Structure 1
Amino acid sequence: MSDRGGQGLLARHPRARGRDVLERQKLLQFRGHSVTWLVPLLMLVAIPVVDLNTGGEFRIVSWCVFVAAIAAALCGVRTTAVFAVLGVVTYVAADAAWPYQYREGPADLVLVLVGGVLSVLAAVVRVRGERRMLHMRHIAETTRRTVLRPLPPGWGGLDHAAAYLAADADARVGGDFYDIQPGPHGTRVLLGDVQGKGLGAVEAAAALLGTFREAGYHEADLATVAERLEVRMRRHRGHTVALGRADGDRFATAVLLGFPAEEQGVVDLVVFGHEAPLAAGPDGVRRLPHAGGLPLGLAELTSGDPPPVLRAAVAPEETLLLVTDGVTEARDGAGAFYPLADDIAAGLAREPRTAEPDRLVAYVRDGTLRHCGGRLDDDTTIFAVRRRGAGSMRNDAGGQGGRDLSVGRGPGTDGDERPERGRLQS
């Protein structure tokens, strides 16, 4: 991507189309429209009214200089320029209404004039900074969507739902990753978290996802897919070291799932130093078995082999929940961790339909934010998958088609309540 002449991607900013500010936060709104201009307008009206109703020894008409300054902080460049002109006009009219001996005079008029010009310049600088910030956020969002590609409804024969919450609301990018890859040997699912933050973590996540999408499709054995991921992480670390970068010791925790095409009631899994998935269903919550393997990139510390592949039975109505440590390590004001399994069990007892992927993701998302008071210390990914019904039609990729499930709504409240279910099961 060329950057000659300052015209590279980072050098360009979105141009305004009829407005000085494109998407900045609106402090005051009425029926979806910004009314921030009301603040300097009310001040512009109040200053001459107060000035004309006080004695000649107490003049505040020169406060008109603050009108443009407030507009510069809240409004666009054009609106600020309008208020700068109105401030001068108001000053001249209000000052001329008094007898000569009580007038503020040309000195304060120059103050209002200079203040208006400086306010317009300040608005220009602020708007340019906001445009650059929006441009950088757009780049970060595009980068994230490139790594975390959108998943079609029913992709790979799985109902799925996901929520991603960045700890840095401005950056919107981190090292969490997930994907579904259907293929001739069944459907594979990967969720993981690269150690560290920034673009280096994104690069590592992109490398692992690229390997997963190829190996997950072509390799018949899930253990081979796991081995390919381990090798890819080591190769990526070697590349960063060769470049002389300081992040050559990265690793990634991950969970790799395999839904065999020939067996509907089981799932194969490999856990790379990550939290094992939870299975949530009408009978409660249980944690799937795992062998406690090392994260990706660290297998050479032991035998050099990835963790073993384990098989677990999964009921048709059970949903598998995979989360990153943004959920499991969320703390409240007293420092207590979020009780994920217990909270889900309580939600299932109140409403069994909470086990549906979209409802489960929304429930965990809201519970995590509520527990930590909205203050996330780490990027948070919540991903839920469940096999679709046996009557679904197969698609070209070897998966099954179907509708998507939204994560935009919370758990429902309709349906009959059932007896209290068990807590976390082994």
Structure 2
Amino acid sequence: MTDHQAQRRRKELLRARGRSISWAAPLLLLAGITAVDLNTTERFRIVSWIVLVPGIAAALCGVWTTAVFAALSLLDYVAVDRAWPREYQATLPDFILVAFAGLLALLACVVRRNGERRMLHMRDIAETTRRTVLRPLPQGWAGLDHAAVYLAADTQARVGGDFYDIQPGPHGTRVLVGDVQGKGLGAVETAAALLGTFREAGYHERDLATVADRLETRMIRHRGHTVALGRDDGDRFATAVLLGFPPDAPDVVELINFGHEPPLAVGPTGVVRPLPPGGGLPLGMTDLTTTGPPPARTVTLAADETLLITTDGVTEARDADGDFYRLPEEAAHAPTSDPAPLVAHIRDGVLRHTHGRLSDDTTIFAVRRTATP
């Protein structure tokens, strides 16, 4: 379970019938301390424990509710203490302690609420960034059934260097899934640059190999720009899988692999077969070879087969014993080859395998042609 899911789970536990019941815990504590103090002997006076009540309220409730409990605790302290004979009543320092604890609890609650507002604001910014880089894709977009899950290793940032997109065009539909080396804003910026080029080249260029050339050129240009700015991005690269779905060949998929894990073809009966790896170098590394970008390969795909593409957040996921997540075996046990259930099955398996502790950004992407063009 991720930190965000755990936080949302805790909030759900503090609600009943859609309303917050966070006030119940400090109220029960207040009532319990009062009852115990009034029903025990003078040797077991615990009314000073009432300082815990505003502290609990500060951790669970809002500012005004915490203020109410701070005042209520002080009044209850005075009332309970006066119910005892004078020789057993608490001293003035205890009264000051209760009052001071209420003020500190109120201040702590204000700080907590301000921190939560800042966190929500940063989360909104991260969500906007994510939706800009990884734009939402309509269902059945460009004649493809698809599903995708992106899990950022940094749960606060919620966006990293993994990327994917579908681009329809006059020469067929193109799909790009990849992973930028490294983390942080530099990886996000590189992913955005590659996606921008893919969306233009994938639409205009007739040959998939030309789209690959454009992506390689964009990677080199972007890397040169960041180096000119004085940043240490001179060796950044990206692995990727570029797919082409020709409009006149419904059982054919074109594939160019830039050093990425090869896609898996998942059938409805659990049969999993890896597609050809391609043997190409990652984007940004063509200067290490004289052959240029990897060649395009043509693969025959059955109508009920789904292509499953994942980044190394899946293939390199480890459990507590250091064992890797077995993607082909898990994909073979998926209940169906439909993209959405297949992606959900792999996502749940990875989170179970790692106990929610992802060491790298994780993307799970599944796609196939729709039954009806």
Question: For the superposition of Structure 1 and Structure 2, which TM-score range results when normalised by the shorter chain?
Answer: over 0.9
Q: Secondary structure at the match of 1:191?
A: strand
Aligned to 1:192: 178
Question: Using a 3 Å threshold, how does the CA distance of structure 1 residues 115 and 241 change in structure 2: closer, same or farther?
Answer: same
**Partner residue, 1:372:** 354
Q: TM-score, normalised by structure 1?
A: 0.82
Aligned residue in 2 for 1:395: none
Query: Shift of the alpha carbon at 1:271?
Result: 0.5
User: Match of 1:29?
Assistant: 15
SS at match of 2:42: coil
Deviations 1:83-130 (A, max 9, x none): 000011001100111111111132211111111111101110111011
- Which AA in structure 1 matches 2:255? L
Q: Distance in 2 between matches of 1:294 and 1:33?
A: 55
Name the CA shift for 1:23/1:120 in 2 (closer, same or farther; >3 Å): farther
Match of 1:210 in 2: 196
- Give yes or no for contact 1:179–1:189 (8 Å, CA) kept in 2: yes
State the identity as a percent. Answer: 68
Aligned residue identity for 1:248: G
SS of the residue 2:148 aligns to: strand
Residue 326 of structure 1, aligned match among 290, 305, 313 = 313
Say if 1:27 and 1:36, in contact at 8 Å, map to a contact too.
no
Contact 1:327 1:368 in 2 (8 A): yes
1:103 corresponding residue in structure 2: 89
Partners of 2:43 and 2:329 lie apart in 1 by 70
Partner of 2:112: 126
Structure ranking higher in helix proportion: 2
What residue is the counterpart of 1:279 in the other structure? 265
Amino acid at match of 1:355: S
Tell me the residue number matched to 2:248.
262
- 1:144 match: 130
Tell me which amino acid in the other structure corresponds to 1:375. Answer: R
Residue 135 of structure 1: which of 121, 134, 143 is its match?
121
Residues 310-349 of structure 1: pairs in structure 2 closer than 5 A: 310-347=297-334
Which amino acid in 2 is paired with 1:381?
T
2:268 and 2:9 map into 1 onto residues whose CA distance is: 44
Equivalent pair of 1:319/1:356 in contact (CA under 8 Å): yes
Assess if the C-alpha contact under 8 Å between 1:23 and 1:134 holds in 2.
no
Q: Is contact 1:26–1:36 with CA below 8 Å preserved after alignment? A: no
- Equivalent residue, structure 1, for 2:3: none
Aligned mates of 1:372, 1:52 — CA distance in 2: 51
- Partner Cα separation in structure 2 for residue 144 and residue 79 of structure 1: 36
Alpha-carbon distance, 1:27 to partner: 5.0
Paired amino acid for 1:300: D
The Cα offsets for residues 37-71 of structure 1, whole Å up to 9 and x where unpaired, read as 11111111111211112222332212222111111
How far residue 74 of structure 1 moved from its aligned partner, in angstroms, is 1.4
SS of the residue corresponding to residue 307 of structure 2 reads strand
* Counterpart pick for 1:160 among 146, 150, 153: 146
CA deviation after TM superposition for structure 1 residue 24, in Å: 8.7
Taking the aligned partners of 1:87 and 1:26, their CA distance within structure 2 comes to 27
State the distance in 1 between where 2:359 and 2:251 align: 37
Q: Which runs of 5+ in 2 are unaligned?
A: 1-7
Aligned match of 1:16: none
- The size of the alignment, in residue pairs, is 365
Q: Deviations over 1:179-230 (max 9, x none)?
A: 0001011110000011111211111100000000000000001111001101
User: In the superposition, relative to structure 1, how do residues 47 and 332 fare at CA in structure 2: closer, same or farther (>3 Å)?
Assistant: same
Alignment RMSD: 1.8
Deviation at 1:304, TM superposition (A): 6.2
| CA displacement, residues 270-323 of structure 1 (integer Å, 9 cap, x when unaligned) | 111100111111461111113211111111111261111111111111111111
Q: Secondary structure at the match of 1:296?
A: coil
| 1:222-233 mapped onto 2 (5 Å cutoff) | 222-233=208-219
Which residue type is aligned with residue 80 of structure 1?
T
The DSSP-based 3-state class of the residue aligned with 2:309 is strand
CA distance in 2, matches of 1:147, 1:80: 41
How many angstroms apart in 1 are the aligned matches of 2:341 and 2:42? Answer: 68
From 337, 343, 363, the counterpart of 2:345: 363
What's 2:292 paired with?
305
Scaled by the length of structure 2, what TM-score is found? 0.94
Q: Which amino acid aligns with 1:95?
A: D
Residue equivalent to 2:4:
none
Q: Gaps (5+ residues) in structure 1?
A: 1-21, 393-426
Alignment correspondent of 1:75: 61
- Separation in structure 1 between the aligned mates of residue 305 and residue 278 of structure 2, nearest angstrom: 22
- How much has 1:374 moved relative to structure 2? 2.3
For residues 365 and 23 of structure 1, do their structure 2 counterparts lie closer, same or farther at Cα, with a shift above 3 Å needed?
closer
